[in-house]
Structure formats: structure tokens, C-alpha cells
Structure 1
Amino acid sequence: MSAKLGDASVSSLPEGGKSRRVYLQLLDGITRGTYANGAILPGEQKLAALLDVSRVTLRRALDALEGEGLIDRRAGVGTRVRATAERPSMAADFTTLMPQVVQMGHETTARLISFSYSLPPAAVADAMKISRTTNVQAAVRLRLIEGQPFSHLTTYVPEDIAQNYSESELATTPLFSLLERSGVEVETADQSVSATLASPEVAGHLGLSVGAPLLMLDRVVRDANGRGVEYLAALYRPDMFKLEMTLSRVGAGDARHWEPVVKPGRPEAAE
């Protein structure tokens, strides 16, 4: 029985670096619509030549895509991209991401995976500017839209703040709302966006193949004293979440350049 993208049972990337590269190239083409639903892919010989790999390498990649229900291979017909139901998605303007993500927290649901108190990872403690011997409340949650998981969230909050809310409250209430209720006055936040690949555990939660590409967002939220009050490591499915930005051409002569258009919004932080 094949497992469709988003099912609880997921397949792994094909063996071999070249096969994995081809798999990700074709997956990207399918999710972006380069290969439209119902379209017939080029024949194996032509496709292998286009991707500069052997047919054996190509077939490993196609096997993985077929196992996920993304293509259908039939003798005499060819390889057809399978028509899949359109998945719900979220988008956020990068320049006003903080307030939009708060709204996202109210428009989506969360599922609490784990909740515990422990010492923070060294990198987290250093980023938050807290002692490595300071206990933190660590939680892992999934955020879902229309019942489908689109983000995997890991948060760290100092114990003296986190003790003001319960495990059940974290499962039902956006974290930033809980921080505000605890008397935290957020002043600034440092945020970075990059990309990574899904680990087996994360892939299972998000319904993806092991090694599938993910959008990664790390954020440290600070109070007026510069102390970190929250560390967020968020992983998003790129087929269900995207960051957008409007740019404006400013300046004159050689100094003319692009700048983001900052839209008004309340400087809040959540996930």
C-alpha cells in the first residue's frame, strides 16, 4: 500500500546521493507546479539525460515518489503526476512576520508532543544569555491548519517564567499570550531563517519523507534587560508555508537599492 504525502506512514529518501538529489528536484517540480497535476513526465531516457544521471539512479528517485503517491507509472502510458487534493497553506509577510504569526496562532490549532523541565542545550543558553545551569521548560508542539500539520515547534522558556502556566494551557494557548500573562514585557527579538532537512522524528510528525526540505526559523525573544524569555526553533513544510516580502526601489544614482516595505503592525512574537 502506497503512502501519500501527509500520511502518518512515510518513506525515506532513496539510497545514494544522486538519487536523493533527483528525488528532491522532481519533488520540488511537483510541489511548485512545474510538473502539473496529471502531466506526463518525459520518458526515463530523456529525463535521465536532462538530470544528468543514469536510468538506475532515476528509477530509485521515481520509486520513492511513487511510494508517496505523487506519481503513477504505467507501461505504455508513462509516468503521470498524480492529481492530489490541494493542501491548506499559510503565508506571512516577512517584514511584519511577528504580528502575523500571532494571528496564525489563533487561526490554527496546536498539538503538544512533549513537555518537560531540564537544562538547556548550550547553544540555546548562550543565545538567550542565561546560565547553562538555569532550568528551562522545553516543549515540542505541532501546529495544524485544517487538521494537517505544517510546522514543528520547539520552545525553551526559563523555569521561573514557565511555572506560571500549565502543560494543558500550553497545548491550547499561544505561548506569547502565556508569556504576557506571566508579566513578561518583550522588548526585542533576534530572528533568522534558513533551510534544513527533516530528521526521522520530524518527518514522521509532519508526514514527510526523511530528508525532505524544510524551512527553518530560529528566534530569541528578549525582555527590556536583554534576557532571553523564549527560544523558538520552528520547522515549516515549504509546500504549506511561505514568507513573502514587498520591496521598494529607493535612493538615487549608484546608491539606488531595494528596501523592504515595512507595514504597520504590533511588534508581537509567537510561533
Structure 2
Amino acid sequence: MTDIPMPKYRQIADDLLKKIQTGIYPINALIPKEIELATFYGVSRPTIRQAIQLLVNDGYLDRRKKRGTIVRQRKIVQEFTHVIASYDQEMDNHGLIPMTKVIMFTTEVADNEVCERLNLPIDSIVFKLVRLRYANDQPIVIVTTYIPYSVVPHLSDYDFTAVSLYETLAANNTAVVRVQRRLEVIKADETVANLLNVQQNEPLFYFHTIGHTQDSGAIEYSIAKYRGDLNSFNIDVSL
């Protein structure tokens, strides 16, 4: 069987991709103009356009009117809509380096919404944990989590910049085994925009999560605000 040679435009696309992945063309940088690339590779401009379009389709490049073609940050395809896993596990699965910054960790009197979500009496005490989570040094999501104080009173002994909340809950015999999630899309206010390094009013994915233990008790209520430009979500539906 005769090997079919790879089309020239695909060879060029592969070479451009290597330059993106090695940082020769970094994120948000303009790649050379079509005429410059055509001269460099010794091909026609239509061939260059085909190569660029492949990388646009795969999410590596973005054409901008009056600016040219820039290297874009590929979106992280999140699986947590149908898999219960820690954030660190998800990032590891994508080959990304996770990091967590704790913005706030305190106890407070739960408001009516939190009491309702966690099925607690009015004015119950809860832990409030606010974390800014990163992937490869990029802020990805800010998560505010409420945990009933009466169920895990020693939660403040843990450093959640270094340990997983879900693993900690499991170690305290309150493992999350089932979750309910609701998705909305909201606009970033000034505070969240600054934390996530986006423009004010940029769209965010806004998830409400209630985590349940084996006995169906609600142990966690979280609200997560994901950057719309860096995240997408897989949702599996079976009949």
C-alpha cells in the first residue's frame, strides 16, 4: 500500500501548532501575516488560509478584524457536570497545573437561602469558604462553599490551599456521593471581574451545587463562577 503524503496545508498547520505549544507564538500574540507565512513556507496564500482555518477550528487561533490572527487560550472542557471529582483531579486529567488561593474561610450565621439549600434551621452556623482556583497560573473559577458547622466542626483545621474539600469531607465520614447542579449565565461584576482577570460584564457560567452524603443529607452548598472564555462543559444524556 502506498502511503498518501500529508497535504501541505496540514503540514504547515502542524508546524504552526508546535510553535504555539512551545511558546514561539504565545497566547494573545499575533502570528505572522498570510503573505509572510506564504513566503516562509513557499506556498500560496490559499494554502496558508487552509492551515490557519484548521487551527481556528480547533480553538488555537482566532481571526480578528483589523488586527490579524491571534493565538487564543483553548477552553478547558470541564466534566464536573456529570462526574463527581475534585477540581485538582479535573485539571490533572487535562494536563494542567491546578492552584488554589483561599480568599476567605470563616464561620457565619447562614442566611435563608443557605439554610434552605442545606436543610438547616434558621440562623444555623456554617463554614463559608471562598476559593479562587487556577489552571497554569490563569484564574479559572471563584467558588463560594457553605458547610454546616455542626456536621464537620473541625473543618477549620485544614488548609484548603493544599487539600481537597471533597477528600476532607470523605475523611470525616461525610463523603459527597450525589450532587444537584443548576446552571445560569451571569455578567461579571467589578469584584469578580478583577479576581478572574476579565472585563466587567463579561459572561460567566454560574453553577449552584448541593452535595449530598450517602444518607441523602445535604453537606455542601456551593456557587461557582467560571470564566466563559476559558471553560466549556460536557453534558452526557442517556435514555
- TM category (shorter chain) comes to 0.5 to 0.7
Match of 2:67 among 60, 72, 80: 80
- Residues 209-263 of structure 1 deviation map (CA, whole Å, 9 limit, x = unaligned): 11110001111112244332111101101221111235xxxxxxxxxxxxx249x
SS in 1 for 2:161: helix
- Residues 3-48 of structure 1 deviation map (CA, whole Å, 9 limit, x = unaligned): xx99xxxxxxxxxxxxxxxxxxxxxxxx9999x64542xxxxxxxx
Q: 1:242 to 1:130 in 2, by over 3 A?
A: same
Q: Which runs of 5+ in 2 are unaligned?
A: 1-26, 29-55
Task: Report the equivalent of 1:216.
Answer: 206
Task: Report the equivalent of 1:96.
Answer: 82
2-side partners of 1:32 and 1:207: how far apart?
A: 25
| Alignment-mate amino acid for residue 245 of structure 1 | I
Match of 2:111 among 115, 118, 121: 121
2-side partners of 1:176 and 1:153: how far apart?
A: 14
1-side partners of 2:238 and 2:158: how far apart?
A: 39
Residue 142 (structure 2) pairs with residue 179 (structure 1) = no
Aligned length: 181
SS in 2 for 1:186: coil
Match of 1:200 among 183, 190, 214: 190
Identity, in percent, stands at 19
Q: 1:144 to 1:89 in 2, by over 3 A?
A: farther
2-side partners of 1:167 and 1:116: how far apart?
A: 12
Contact 2:86 2:164 in 1 (8 A): no
Q: How does 1:107-146 map to 2 (within 5 A)?
A: 108-146=98-136
Match of 1:190 among 180, 192, 204: 180
1-side partners of 2:76 and 2:144: how far apart?
A: 19
Contact 1:217 1:235 in 2 (8 A): yes
Q: 1:114 to 1:89 in 2, by over 3 A?
A: same
Higher relative contact order (CA 8 A, sep 6+): 1
Residue 225 (structure 2) pairs with residue 235 (structure 1) = yes
Task: Say what the alpha-carbon RMSD is for the aligned residues.
Answer: 3.1
After alignment, is 95-104 or 199-208 more displaced? 95-104
SS in 2 for 1:193: strand
2-side partners of 1:101 and 1:208: how far apart?
A: 21
Task: Report the equivalent of 1:152.
Answer: 142
